[in-house]
Structure 1
């Protein structure tokens, strides 16, 4: 998809409409690569693959970004044409993140050498593409490259169909207690010079680092992993993102006021589909999910609205976990969107409610207001006392109104009694003022 959208390019080139049609492949690209991208699409369509391309399949209009975002969600494969321009395009970054969050098979097609492109990418894009096989496309080997890419598209579509037939597609799975990886086939490849440290499962790492202890102080735990993986944190994430990810890890390990890491919570974090994975692999998984979710739900994201509207299509436990991770983002706008989105998923489990309730103490009034309304949607009876406190004491009228609306939506004897008592007191106070 182009990073610059102009009216002439959107005129009557409409070959087919995407309304109500699920395509096999959504192609994301930059307009500088339009000619070779059209050749690629032509090859795919010629082989019978339904391939979606913005310049061919959509007319201009105010809702162009909505249509493009919806195309990402509705397609089976997200094919990313990677060039110097596209890997630095904010719009392409948004689309890739949405594809990752919505659990699409991702097909990276590189127009330049892999390392050259990696050097141009931000941390999030590099991680989102990690584990996917790259294909190359050049004019010098155009016929051969197009054949390889088409064959891969067919292979991916066959795998998707097979999973659906076996009932293993989990895009609409119900939230469950344990975290799962996004449903994609990514096999982590370790280079020969990577130490055993990166390969040992989480339980072995704990035993080697902390012996038979079942509880370890957070500072000690953090110091250990920063000592063991310092170079990797610095090289992969940088200082600022490392601090952000450590804050997410802190919450994922369910560390309370005592600042203690419990071994059982740690093992649960390392466990995917009943298998204990290496700690560094899980940290990277966590980062990958968090980067993608943050990109999708930023206020300047071109696909944010479509992501929120389509949460019902991909509200897996992993997406819900990742939305909870965004509650610790330093941007209050991102926090508010995550809170609203959690309510949209229908998640009202104890863990989600607890995380949302923590945001009731936010200094930002939009975050507090979003919390109140979301807790109402979640029917969070455990939040009644705090909601009453906000209704009676918050200095912002919007927050007070949201707290009252939440109490009314939660309902029940406890909420109704709290509303009744406060209402009676208010009437008596007004009476005293006028008497």
Structure 2
């Protein structure tokens, strides 16, 4: 990314005059600000959002239904930028226009409302105070959170505590009405147990939260309950048939009785956001996918894994490289990459070899060796050879030794210049 900004502003064209005033106010306070001018391409917007610390969407009745704002909001959410919605219209007028995913995404974030220009200065001063506080508290390396850290806390130290900023804010309660609200999910059902079967966990989770999921979470093309259960099993618990209390606690990362479900809500929104981003115009997909490699959130790793099956070989190739970076700490990343090492497209095969070389995967050596020896395309063989040179394994080193011997013999057989 060419430059990282403190704040990127997203807006509908009808709000440009207001945005110019906001940008000037933020810059006067010492914040670096970017917003799209007429000559800027959407690709520049995508890169700016992925590199920013704070995304500030100016929400109006026009921007609430603007697809480009939805895409930007989704991109900011999955890349863990802090999100500060700024509106000149009351939330009750905007809420019906927001998509289900956007509404849930913004539900627990306090908004700044400027209902008239007489209060512009005071409201923006409060907003800037919140931004500066969050920027000062920002932890190094926050972009690579793990499950046991705040892997799904998209933003810095939100929610804001200043009441003047929180005016007319929207909230959604994660607590089901028909279960004990004072006891954590694990203790409600598995008191004193350190591990239980996945089937037990799934059934109790659906008992407590199935109705709430069905009624309140945004719809997806698939069966929603099955979709969310699959996300929990595949992405959160890594398809383990035995769920331990430590796995549960690491994911919940809170003592709140409904912390696990709240985390699932956030993960579900992150997953929907990723879908939104990858549904963008094809000219934006490749650079966006490439940039996603710097983020290790499970939703992103899962999305990149799914993209290895995309119909477009360019997407598959770029996703392979991004996945090697984003999913470098996950065991199944190697399995996904090995799965495309014999792809029909030579660029995808090259990307798979190079990605496995980057990961230095010992168990992938035999697959890379096969490409080095048998692939009909020379550039794939070269990529495999380069990957083997990076792998610290006996089989890889033996193959490289063979390469050196063959090269030496070929050089010896070449006619000497007279």
TM-score, scaled to structure 2: 0.72
Residue 186 of structure 2: aligned partner: 203
* Partners of 2:308 and 2:102 in 1: CA distance: 20
Note if 1:215 corresponds to 2:200. no
| Separation (CA, whole Å) in 2 of partners of 1:398 and 1:276 | 55
Alignment correspondent of 1:230: 210
* Distance apart, 1:401 and its partner CA: 7.4
Q: Does the aligned pair in 2 maintain the 1:216–1:262 contact within 8 Å?
A: yes
Q: Does 1:184 align with 2:156?
A: yes
Tell me the secondary structure at the aligned position of residue 61 of structure 2: coil
How far off its partner does 1:320 sit? 4.1
- 1:249 to 2:228 alignment: no
Cα displacement (A) at 1:374: 1.4
Q: Does the CA-based 8 Å contact 1:329-1:335 persist in structure 2? A: no
SS in 1 for 2:142: coil
1:433 aligned partner: none
Pairwise mapping of residues 48-197 of structure 1 onto structure 2 (< 5 A)? 50-55=32-37, 60=39, 64-138=41-115, 141-144=116-119, 146-164=120-138, 168-171=139-142, 178-181=148-151, 182=153, 184-186=156-158, 190=173, 194-196=177-179
Q: Retained in 2: the 8 A contact 1:83–1:111?
A: yes
Determine the structure 1 residue equivalent to 2:355.
374
User: How many residues get paired?
Assistant: 382
TM-score normalised to structure 1 length: 0.69
Q: SS at the partner of 1:332?
A: coil
Structure 2: unaligned runs, 5 residues or longer: 160-170, 406-418
CA shift at 1:383, angstroms? Answer: 1.7
Matched-pair contact (CA < 8 Å) for 1:391–1:399: yes
Per the alignment, do residues 244 and 331 of structure 1 end up closer, same or farther by CA in structure 2, a change over 3 Å counting? farther
Kept after mapping to 1: 8 A contact 2:55/2:83: yes
Instruction: Flag structure 1 segments of 5+ consecutive residues without an equivalent.
Output: 1-17, 425-435
Asked whether 1:385 is paired with 2:366, we answer yes
Give the Cα–Cα distance (whole angstroms) in 2 for the partners of residues 329 and 115 of structure 1: 37
- Relative distance call for 1:163 and 1:306 in structure 2 (3 A) is farther
**1-structure distance, mates of 2:387, 2:279:** 26
Q: 1:134 Cα deviation (Å)? A: 1.6
Separation in 1, partners of 2:52, 2:309: 32
1:41: Cα distance to partner?
3.7
Could you tell me which residue of structure 1 aligns to residue 323 of structure 2? 342
Q: What is the root-mean-square deviation of aligned Cα atoms in Å?
A: 4.3
Give the deviation of 1:117 after TM superposition: 2.9
Rounded Cα–Cα distance in structure 1 between residues aligned with 2:33 and 2:173: 34
Partners of 2:257 and 2:318 in 1: CA distance: 32
Q: Distance in 1 between matches of 2:386 and 2:227?
A: 33
1:26 maps to which residue?
A: 8
- Counterpart secondary structure, 1:132: coil
Which sits farther off after the overlay, 189-198 or 115-124? 189-198
